[in-house]
Structure 1
Amino acid sequence: MEALAAAFATGLVLALAAAPAGAETDPDDAAALANLYTSWNSPSQLAGWSASGGDPCGAAWQGVACSGAGVTEIKLPGTGLDGSLGYELSNLFSLKTLDLSNNNLHGSIPYQLPPNLTNLNLGSNNFNGNLPYSISNMASIEYLNLSHNSISQQLGDIFGSLNSLSDLDVSFNKLTGDLPNSIGSLSNLSSLYMQNNQLTGSVNVLRGLSLTTLNIANNNFSGWIPKEFSSIPDVTLEGNSFANGPAPPPPPFMPPPPQRPRNRPKHPQGPGDAPKGSESHTVQSNKKQGLGTGPLVGIIAGSIVAVLCVFLLLLCCMCNAQKRTDDASSESKDFGGPLTVNIERASSREIPEQMDDTSIATVKLPPAEKMTPERVYGKNGSVRKTKVPITATPYTVASLQVATNSFCQDSLLGEGSLGRVYKADFPNGKVLAVKKIDSAALSLQEEDNFLEAVSSMSRLRHPNIVPLTGYCVEHGQRLLVYEYIVNGTLHDMLHFSVEISRKLTWNIRVRIALGTARALEYLHEVCMPSLVHRNLKSSNILLDEEHNPHLSDCGLAALTPNTERQVSTEVFGSFGYSAPEFAMSGIYTVKSDVYSFGVVMLELLTGRKPLDSSRERSEQSLVRWATPQLHDIDALARMVDPALNGMYPAKSLSRFADVIALCVQPEPEFRPPMSEVVQQLVRLMQRASIVRRQSGEELGFSYRVPEREGDLRDISF
């Protein structure tokens, strides 16, 4: 009997020990679902779900379906879920369907989503923020529903690779700005719902889509309704500002048709062609009878137009030749011309559309780094410009002079290595910022390539990047137009006064770091070819009314100032942000941007300037002083900006410092890519959000924490 009991006990122990090994769910999938459950505040109504791992496939968790060891479906619509989406969704590689619609989920949609989804439904929740750019990599997505949320800012250019998408619903949100060009490439799209947003501009980008349902009602669209919309079976357009009447005719200045040769060209005779005999008879008859009044007038008018075209072409060629001669002879004169000024600092609103205080790196970089992929290099190394699209609005010098009160001192916002920036108040009430490029800062070749740089900048689309909205090339002047961002620069917020810097709570500072990191990730890893900012610093980060960051001067590296004139002053001005390899050799890569970003994070953490000659010698260089202390928790606490008044979570502070330490490593090859930095900052914010919901004993704060509940809750991403 004892032997039997012993054998039974042994068998039970072996069975229990073997149970985990026999789990049916991939460990990464199980961990991701456990993280989701925690992010939802561990709702008791979900049968089978657990925060401690478990076996979702083997234990048949509610709403979960699997194939083999991989979780393929999560369907929990209308189950009363509350909380966020965690930070491990990207680990669900087998997930095809995610339906969490009609719940109370909030915060931003995670930056990283399951990469192989075919159906995503997050409709009717309380999500805010912007659409994550990881959607652009979801090549298999067929159904995407994000309707009835509070998603804001612009629709990014994220649709270029979504060739399988057939249903897109972003209705009843707070989306703004124009439609991105990439939405016109959705070749399989059949249903598009965008009603009840604040979208603007033309809808011509939609006219080539083979839609069966289109609803764009109650937006701010303008222009003419494309005639192609009449073929859509179900279309709703009311509540916009479309122009009345038919669409405008094609441009009037068309080249004249080629003159008909005397001998008929050899080609198959079409059904409308006259027989050869008939043609011959007609010609002979015309010779005898003369031409009628109508054809005669047409021939005379056509001949006059042809002669005028030839004359105008010759005149343009002569003017261009003369202009090149004039430009070459007056280059020195431009130094003292009306544009002898420097770059800006600007400010803008909720949607990134303006530029900030910006100096550009002044050491010339290798041609491969130039941000003008449209250039074509000839065999002799010369550069000839190609026609490139410019989506920004052209302005006249006169209109910008009126808006800036003749570029008066009272309108000045800031200046840098390329020119000054002015606030522009237009008669229609719109406020913009105008960057007036200093002609003395550009070489002749750079002046010739100005429009190419404008074209490149006009195509940058990211919620954390200040986009170019207009430009002016007239009377030898070159100006760039951006939207005005009201809260100014991060540099001013941090260093102007203690009272102002106190507005930047710890949560806001982490959010600023994350938004800036996402902007750099877009430049480095989304743009093709990769774009290097080359002048990242706190004065080039603009803050809107909600303190969301907008990176300015993106793309201006293509207009790098003349090295001989600027290197002694402008590079030194940004030296505190410059990576060691740039300071020593002038080599600047995406990893140099990562270093500069680390310096900006140090500014956010300490409230100190990168270089401060007013401090004692050992503390003048922020990186040199701070780096040895980043892993010492006591020293780290002493480094924190006094304006925070001790109101921050210690664990979040430590993780923030860990990211800084990676970014400011002296060897560029050891610095992480910006996508990795983004992921670490997202995790930092997610953990802070989760920790905030736990009991006070578990918080682990070693310093005074704000009592306002929203201070950490508002950073769940």
Structure 2
Amino acid sequence: MGCCFSASIKSENPSRKVVNITHDSKQQDGLTGGSNKVSQLKIFKYDELKTATRHFRPHNMVGEGASGRVFKGWLDEQTLAPAKPGTGIIVAVKKFNQEGFEGHKELMAQINHHPNIVKLIGYCLEDDHRFLVSEFLTTGSLENHLFLRTSYDEPLSWSNRMKIALGTAKVLAFLHSDEVNVIYRDLKASHILLDSNFNAKLSDFSLARGGPSGDESHVSTRVMGTFGFAAPEYIATGHLTKKCDVYSFGVVLLEILSGKRALDRNRPAGEQNLVEWAKPYLLSKRRIFKVMDARIAGQYLASEAMKVAKIAIQCLSVQPQFRPTMADVVRALEQVQDSSDTGSSSRSSGSVPEQR
């Protein structure tokens, strides 16, 4: 299937840049075949969504990305009719730019059953209006909890960080399976939402792409995604593979361990790129404390931190063939979780060596 993209670079915040994507209106990223599941979704009228979001008022906007804006809305829990703010259920209403909607809708319908994916409720396709309606997670995103420290009473605990990492790995392994064969392409902390029990829910599939099929080793595209998370070979060649998602997961895992952003111009010159700065410390039991988030010291064993750091290092291999599959990552993180459960009584005495 042919495709056409154009890309431009813009600043997302002072410490990060993103690639802003415009999709060809006929491009569906190879994601097709979800018509039966699409038919099971609620079809909303534009006026219903306008009422649910109070006319898309600016103070109800909760996010904005390359593919469109997201608004908070309220629906009756039983009928899914518009409800008054503060009543019924809260939903996220994503208003799409004109391009890329159909492929996104089909993909979301296909994968809607996975517990680690934000649940799609319905859609609107009326005149020029393109909307997807999904569950709204009031706990916020992983980005909020890791980096916006004034918004929450306590930093994410070690156990919740590992729970989020495992949930994210599981959904990527699901996407990479032969049955689904999808490359997410834009994994980052802001796209990992959290429910009230800190279960990870992957959101915003606007850059997701069907993976290579048959004898193909990769999908050729223009480079898209967020700087700091994209795999080096993808940036260099535009060749997209599932191992590109693995690299991005390694970056997110490093953010989870450190509580630091992947790119941050406010840090000292040698520390602005988290991957480059942290790599020398990750395999040293004596020096790994330099990377670990000091706010959760004492919540884990040094051996646990080393196991997770080893997973991150493998995912961040410059050569994609040396990176594990996401199924391998899931198994490794499950082993860490098992050892954490059995060794919880040892944590009261501290987790990492003292700084020397």
Q: With structure 2 as the length reference, what TM-score do the two structures score?
A: 0.80
Q: Which residue of 2 aligns with 1:619?
A: 271
**What SS does structure 2 have at the residue aligned with 1:433?**
strand
Within the candidate set 186, 196, 199, 1:545 is matched to: 196
Structure 2 counterparts to residues 627-638 of structure 1, below 5 A:
627-638=279-290
User: Cα distance 1:639–1:496, how it changes in 2: closer, same or farther (>3 A)?
Assistant: same
Structure 1 residues 519-564: Cα deviation after superposition (integer angstroms, max 9, x where no partner): 1011001x624111011000000011111111112465259xxxxx
Q: CA distance change for structure 1 residues 703 and 543 in 2, over 3 Å: closer, same or farther?
A: farther
Question: CA, structure 1 residues 360+487, in 2 after alignment: closer, same or farther (shift >3 Å)?
Answer: farther
Output the amino acid matched with 1:512: I
Aligned with residue 71 of structure 2, among 409, 415, 422: 422
Equivalents in 1 of 2:158, 2:190: separation in Å? 19
1:488 aligns with 2:130: no
Structure 2 equivalent of residue 408 of structure 1? 57
> 1 CA distance for matches of 2:304 and 2:165?
13
Q: Where does residue 639 of structure 1 map in the other structure?
A: 291
- Give 1:453 deviation, angstroms: 3.6
**Contact map agreement 1:369 1:531 (CA 8 A) in 2:** no
What is the alpha-carbon distance in structure 2 between the residues aligned to residue 669 and residue 633 of structure 1?
Answer: 26
Does the C-alpha gap of structure 1 residues 639 and 393 become closer, same or farther in structure 2, counting only changes over 3 Å?
Answer: same
Distance 1:687 1:586 in 2: 39
Q: Deviations over 1:428-460 (max 9, x none)?
A: 612100110022xx2xxx4xxx44541331121
In structure 2, distance between residues paired with 1:399 and 1:406: 10
Matched, 1:457 2:116: no
Amino acid at match of 2:141: T
Q: CA deviation at 1:362?
A: 3.9
Matched with 2:4 is: none
Matches within 5 A, 1:385-404: 389-390=37-38, 391-404=40-53
Match for residue 676 of structure 1 among 323, 328, 346: 328
| Contact kept in structure 2, 1:371 and 1:453, CA below 8 Å | no
Report the number of matched residues: 314
1:70-97 deviation per Cα after TM superposition (whole angstroms, max 9, x unaligned): xxxxxxxxxxxxxxxxxxxxxxxxxxxx
The letter for the 2-side match of 1:579 is: A
Equivalent-residue separation in structure 2 for 1:680 and 1:702 (angstroms): 20
Distance in 1 (alpha carbons) for counterparts of 2:347 and 2:227: 45
Quote the Cα distance in structure 2 between the aligned partners of 1:438 and 1:478.
Answer: 7
User: Residue by residue, what CA displacement relative to the aligned partner does 1:200-244 show, whole Å, maximum 9, x if unpaired?
Assistant: xxxxxxxxxxxxxxxxxxxxxxxxxxxxxxxxxxxxxxxxxxxxx
Aligned residue in 2 for 1:206: none
Mapped partners of 1:555, 1:531: distance in 2: 12
Residue 616 of structure 1: how far off its partner (Å): 1.7
Q: Which of residues 323, 326, 341 in structure 2 aligns to 1:689?
A: 341
How much has 1:642 moved relative to structure 2?
2.2
1: CA distance, partners of 2:165 / 2:196: 17
Aligned residue number for residue 151 of structure 1: none
Mapped to 2, the partners of 1:529 and 1:472 lie a distance apart of: 25
The one-character-per-residue Cα deviations of 1:386-434 (angstroms, maximum 9, x if unpaired) are 9654132111110000011111111010111001100001316121001
The answer as to whether partners of 1:648 and 1:703 remain within 8 angstroms in 2 is no
Partner residue, 2:78: none
1:634 Cα deviation after fit: 2.2
Q: Which residue, out of 507, 517, 530, partners 2:169?
A: 517
Query: TM-score normalized by structure 1?
Result: 0.41
**2-structure distance, mates of 1:585, 1:596:** 16
**Alignment-derived partner of residue 431 in structure 1:** 90
Q: What residue number does 2:213 align with?
A: none
Which position in structure 1 is the counterpart of 2:316?
A: 664
The answer for the alignment partner of 1:654 in structure 2 is 306
1:65-464 equivalences under 5 Å are 362=21, 370-374=29-33, 389-390=37-38, 391-426=40-75, 427=83, 429-439=88-98, 442=99, 446=100, 450-460=101-111, 461-464=113-116
Residue in 1 aligned with 2:215? none
The CA deviation at 1:467 is 2.5
Query: Could you tell me how far 1:668 is from its partner in structure 2?
Result: 0.9
Q: Distance in 2 between matches of 1:642 and 1:664?
A: 23
Higher-RCO chain (CA-CA 8 Å, sequence separation at least 6): 2
Q: Compared with structure 1, are the counterparts of its residues 634 and 625 closer, same or farther at alpha carbon in structure 2 (3 Å cutoff)?
A: same
> Equivalent residue of 2:309, what SS?
helix
AA paired with 1:593? D
Matched, 1:586 2:248: no
| Displacement after TM superposition at 1:499 (Å) | 6.9
C-alpha change, 1:608 and 1:369, in structure 2 (3 Å) is farther
Cα separation, partners in 2 of 1:687 and 1:361, compared to 1, 3 Å: farther
Q: CA deviation at 1:626?
A: 0.8
Q: 1:360 touches 1:557 (CA, 8 Å); kept in 2?
A: no
| SS of residue matched to 1:469 | strand
What SS class does the counterpart of residue 422 from structure 1 fall into?
strand
Q: CA deviation at 1:632?
A: 1.1
SS at match of 1:633: coil
Aligned partners of 1:494, 1:640: CA distance in 2, in Å?
A: 13
Unpaired runs of 5+ residues, structure 1, are: 1-341, 343-358, 375-385, 560-566, 705-717
Cα RMSD between the aligned structures?
3.0
User: Match of 1:553, SS?
Assistant: coil
Counterparts in 2 of 1:456 and 1:622: CA distance versus 1, 3 Å: same
Which secondary structure does the structure 2 equivalent of 1:679 belong to?
helix
Structure 2 CA distance for partners of 1:612 and 1:507, relative to 1, 3 Å? same
- The amino acid of 1:492's aligned partner reads N
Q: Secondary structure at the match of 1:584?
A: helix
CA displacement at 1:360 relative to structure 2: 7.8
**Secondary structure in structure 2 of the residue aligned to 1:672:** coil
Q: Residues 360 and 418 of structure 1 are in contact (CA less than 8 Å); yes or no, is this contact kept in structure 2? A: no
SS at match of 2:152: helix
1:364 Cα deviation from its structure 2 partner? 7.8
1:388–1:452 Cα contact (<8 Å) kept: no
Is the CA contact 2:149–2:155 (under 8 Å) kept in the aligned structure 1?
no
Contact 1:494-1:604 within 8 A present in 2 as well: yes
Measure how far apart 1:639 and its partner are: 1.4
Whole-angstrom distance in 2 between the partners of 1:360 and 1:554: 15
Q: Is the 8 A contact 1:473 1:479 kept in 2?
A: yes
How much has 1:640 moved relative to structure 2? Answer: 1.1
Alpha-carbon deviation of 1:692?
A: 2.6
Q: Is the 8 A contact 1:490 1:543 kept in 2?
A: yes
Identity %: 34
| CA–CA distance in structure 2, aligned partners of residues 700 and 644 of structure 1 | 10
Whether the 8 Å contact between 1:649 and 1:703 is mirrored in structure 2 is no
Deviation digits for residues 105-145 of structure 1 (CA, Å, limit 9, x no counterpart): xxxxxxxxxxxxxxxxxxxxxxxxxxxxxxxxxxxxxxxxx
Q: Deviations over 1:581-629 (max 9, x none)?
A: 1211222211000000010000011111111011122111111111121
Equivalent AA in structure 2 for residue 666 of structure 1: V
CA distance in 1 between partners of 2:28 and 2:109 (Å): 18
Aligned-pair CA distance for 1:462: 1.1
What is residue 47 of structure 1 aligned with on the other side? none
TM-aligned CA deviation for residue 369 of structure 1: 9.6
Matched, 1:536 2:187: yes
